A and B are shown apart, each in its own frame.
Chain A
Amino acid sequence: MESFERILSEHAFFHDLPAVHLGTLVGCVSNVKFGAGEFLFREGDAADQFYLIRHGRVAVEAFAPGRGSITIETIDEGEVVGWSWLFPPYTAHFDARALGLVRAFALDGACLRAKCEKDAELGFDLTRRFARVVMQRLDATRLQLLDLYGDHGNG
């Protein structure tokens, strides 16, 4: 295995990915870096890429007039940012901003979609990985939604 593939396979998101799939998608992967405060993407941008964070922290934000940027969640190393590349219209729903230096693998969405169309097994494996991430994020979001520490008194 090429050393780049090996490094890619060590990222938590690709844990246990069969080597043959790794070989297929490695062509869609590049190494990227963001400086502190730089945006990985902004709401409405074409969601061409998603990112496997190798180092650093990314804030997922929404901008509300009058309130400014609100951080909804932070993503750290070992995790993935961006899933809008999976479905049309392939545009980002939130801002993603680097808090400090961020190193990541960038995966090209269009490239991956094409490979998944041809290789159903790869497609199923990737979709399942994303489904798990979405489930975990949804659980977490629901808990945040409960505003557990907020003042819910009525007296």
Chain B
Amino acid sequence: MPRRPPFVVDRSGLEALLHALQSRGYRTLGPTLRDGAIVYDEIRSTADLPAGWTDEQDGGHYRLKEREDGALFGYAVGPQSWKRFLHVPLQTLWRARRAGQGFEILDEPAPESPAQAFVGVRACELAAIAAQDRVFLGGEHKDPHYRARREAAFIVAVNCGTAGGTCFCTSMKTGPQAVEGFDLALTEVLSETDHVFLVEVGSERGAEVAAELEGREPTDAEARAAEDALRAAEASMGRVLETEGLKDVLYRNYEAPHWDEVAERCLACANCTMVCPTCFCATVEDVTDLAGLEASRVRRWDSCFTLDFSYVHGGSVRTSRGARYRQWITHKLATWHDQFGSSGCVGCGRCITWCPVGIDLTAEARAVREADARKREARGDGKL
């Protein structure tokens, strides 16, 4: 069945979209303004969106600023990502109870959780969701909790009109345009006279919901404006990451002195892993009740920056901060390729913005690459 071509709705049409999703039982989540940041939370109507706000981002710097217009999606990404709704921070896996001499695992149905609709998913975030899909659904074992949430999730993407201060999705080829992985995609078109949204259908599920929306064909001006917005976003990237041969550069620089230098700056605070939309490391723990009669097996987010992340009997494998930073960046930009067939980085810039000391992954990669090139040149580029 041919897909409905892109159509235009105004703000009331967007409101209708939210209601259409809610009437189908979706819990609608989207960007909201809270505590000086754009955070993803439940939205009931378009009034909950951060209209007229934008963000100013740089290494270790995030500020919200008022816009001159009333754009609903005129900002980049905030500290969280959609991973907290798919690969949730805390997940009870199963519960057990003492029985006789031993114990039994309780046969409990998964608690009913409403299907989620994500409204305002950026192209980089679509790529991040796809990356986590490969982690949790692409191997021999599948994570049933992730799968359940993922299959039920309705995704409304949003094309970016400007890039954020630390964005580099063009370097990672993950944006700024949302190309696949969404049910519907919106492009906000804002002019002196007009405030509309170009709606693109990306799936059967999206088409079914879109059928409820009244829209019209986009005017030439609107279509052009949508295109211009994407070009503007492409041209305003805050950072650049040179990815050519980067995997090999990192693979041959495990012993580069650079990691000791990063160690001086890195606090191992784990912020980067918490805000990163692809980081997936978790730990599994037992939580028991006071009487010791019931135990829950709980999975919660973890970070390779913690000292005991790599603990084996005798001590941790990675005790120095330099080794832990190296583990994170090498996983993200090198070993991830060999594990999952793509880069682990989607160029969202969050790790740069939310690092308290402003460590910039693009700058660190550049530094290692440059030192590597100098070393090879000194050696005559022959032997390594």
Interface set of A (CB-CB < 8 Å, partner B): 152-155
Provide the bound-state CA to CA distance between A153 and B313, in Å. 5
Q: How far is the CB of B318 from chain A (nearest CB, A)?
A: 15
Residues in B with CB closer than 8 Å to A153 are 313-315
Provide the bound-state CA to CA distance between A154 and B313, in Å. 8
Interface set of B (CB-CB < 8 Å, partner A): 311, 313-315
Provide the bound-state CA to CA distance between A103 and B314, in Å. 44
Residues in A with CB closer than 8 Å to B313 are 152-153
Residues in A with CB closer than 8 Å to B315 are 152-154
Interface contacts (Cβ under 8 Å), in number, total: 9
Q: How far is the CB of A129 from chain B (nearest CB, A)?
A: 35
| CB closest residue in chain B, given A152 | B314
Q: How far is the CB of A117 from chain B (nearest CB, A)?
A: 47
Jot down 9 A-B pairs with beta carbons below 8 A, ordered by A: A152-B313, A152-B314, A152-B315, A153-B313, A153-B314, A153-B315, A154-B314, A154-B315, A155-B311
Provide the bound-state CA to CA distance between A9 and B305, in Å. 61
Residues in A with CB closer than 8 Å to B314 are 152-154
Provide the bound-state CA to CA distance between A155 and B307, in Å. 13
| CB closest residue in chain B, given A154 | B315
Provide the bound-state CA to CA distance between A153 and B314, in Å. 4
Starting from the known contacts A153-B313, A154-B314, 7 additional A-B residue pairs (CB-CB under 8 Å) come to A152-B313, A152-B314, A152-B315, A153-B314, A153-B315, A154-B315, A155-B311
Provide the bound-state CA to CA distance between A153 and B312, in Å. 9
Q: How far is the CB of B307 from chain A (nearest CB, A)?
A: 11
Q: How far is the CB of B125 from chain A (nearest CB, A)?
A: 39
Provide the bound-state CA to CA distance between A154 and B311, in Å. 10
Residues in A with CB closer than 8 Å to B311 are 155
Provide the bound-state CA to CA distance between A79 and B212, in Å. 91
Q: How far is the CB of A147 from chain B (nearest CB, A)?
A: 11
Residues in B with CB closer than 8 Å to A154 are 314-315
| CB closest residue in chain B, given A155 | B311
Provide the bound-state CA to CA distance between A153 and B316, in Å. 10
Provide the bound-state CA to CA distance between A152 and B314, in Å. 5
Top 9 A-B pairs, shortest CB-CB distance: A152-B314, A153-B313, A153-B314, A154-B315, A152-B315, A155-B311, A154-B314, A152-B313, A153-B315
Provide the bound-state CA to CA distance between A145 and B315, in Å. 18
Provide the bound-state CA to CA distance between A152 and B313, in Å. 7
Residues in B with CB closer than 8 Å to A152 are 313-315
Residues in B with CB closer than 8 Å to A155 are 311
Q: How far is the CB of A152 from chain B (nearest CB, A)?
A: 4
Q: How far is the CB of A57 from chain B (nearest CB, A)?
A: 33
Q: How far is the CB of A126 from chain B (nearest CB, A)?
A: 39
Provide the bound-state CA to CA distance between A146 and B62, in Å. 50
Provide the bound-state CA to CA distance between A154 and B307, in Å. 13
| CB closest residue in chain A, given B311 | A155
